[in-house]
Amino acid sequence: MKKVLITGAAGNLGGLLAFHLKEYPSLFLNLLIHRKDVNPKLKNLSNVKVFSADLVDKKSLGSALKDVDVIVHFAGVLFKSNPEKFLPVTNTEYFRNLVDAAIENKVSRIILISFPHVEGETTYENPSTDKLDGKPESMHARTRLEEEKYLFARQKTNRFDAISLRVGMVYGKGILMIDAAKWFSKYKLLCIWKKPTHIHLISTIDFLNATASAVMKENINGIYNLGDEGRQTLQEFFDELSIYWGHKKPHRTSVGFVMFAARLFELFSSLFGTRSPLTRDFVKIGMASYYGDTKRMRSELLPVLKYKTYKEGINTF
C-alpha cells in the first residue's frame, strides 16, 4: 500500500483531494493540519490518519512523514492582509522545511501544487511550459516560483521524483473562489475590471484525476501544466456563470476601483484579525493572463478529459 501525505488537507483543494484519494484501495492517507481541522467525514476511516504539525518546525513533521511515499503540498496562507510580508516565509521557507524533512525521511516523490503564473503573463500562443526563469509581478507567483526552484535544485543532489503541477483555475461547486463569486453575483456586488484577462480552466474532477495520476503512476517527473481545451477570458467566464445562476452579468469597473476595494478588505483584516477575501496582490495575479501547455498532462497524466471546456462542465456549478 502506498502512503500519501497531503499538506493543507483542511483547506479547499487539499480537502477535495483527500476525499478523492480515500476511495483508492491501494492508498493510505496522512492528512497534515495546523490550526484548522479536516472535515469530520475524513476521520475514523481505516485508510486515513490526521497529524497536527507546524511547517515552521521540521521536527514536528517526523511522525507524519514516517514511511510516506508521496507528498502532495497545498499548505499556505492566502486570505490575509499584506501578503508581501508573510508569503516569503509561509510559502518559501515552510516549503523548504518540508522538502528537507522529506529527504531526511526518504520520501520518494514530492508534488507541489503550483500555477502557470510563475512564468509571468502567458497566452495560448505563448503558453507556460517548464521554465524557471519567469519574472511574475505578484508575490504569490514569485514565492511559488522560488518553491519550484528549490524543489528541483534539491532533486539534483538527492534521489526522488520532483513534480510541479501548474494548475489553471479550478472550477466547480465547492471551489471557494467560485462559491464567493456566486454570493457576490447574487447580491449584485460582483465586479470585474474592463481589460480582458485570458484564463486557463480545468474542472474539479479533471484536476483531481490528473493529480491522482501524478500520485499513482510510475515515471512521472518534472513540470506539468493542468488545463482543459477551452479558450476564454475571465470576463466571459463570469458573465456566462452569472447568467447560468440567474443573475445579471458582473459590473465592469476600473482597476483603480478594484484596488481600492482590496485595500479596504486588507485594512479591515489587519484591524480586526479577519480573513481578507481580496488583496492587492490577488488583483495583480488575477489581472495576468495565463495559459499552460498541457501536452505532458495529456500524454502522461490524463489522456481524456471529462469536460473539455467549462461550457461542457457548467452543470458542475
Q: What is the DSSP string of 114-139?
A: E-GGGGSS--SSS-B-S-S----SSH
Domain positions in the chain are 2-168+203-227+292-299
Q: Are 138 and 283 in contact (CB under 8 A)?
A: no
Sign of CA dihedral 201, 302, 165, 52: positive
The share of the chain scoring above pLDDT 90, in percent, equals 77
- H-helix or E-strand spanning residue 222: strand 222-226
> What's the pLDDT at 97?
96
Which DSSP letter does residue 99 get?
Answer: H
* Separation between Cα atoms, residue 28 and residue 25, nearest integer Å: 8
pLDDT of residue 197: 97
Number of residues that make up the chain: 317
**What pTM was computed for the model?**
0.94
* Cα distances (Å, whole numbers) of residue 99 to 27, 96, 156, 188, 263: 21, 5, 13, 44, 34
Taking only the tens place, the pLDDT of each residue in 14-46 is 999 999 999 999 999 999 998 789 999 999 899
pLDDT digits (tens, 9 = 90+) for 138-159: 999 999 999 999 999 999 999 9
What is the C-alpha to C-alpha distance for residues 292 and 271, in angstroms, rounded to an integer? 38
Assigned fold of 2-168+203-227+292-299: Rossmann fold (3.40.50)
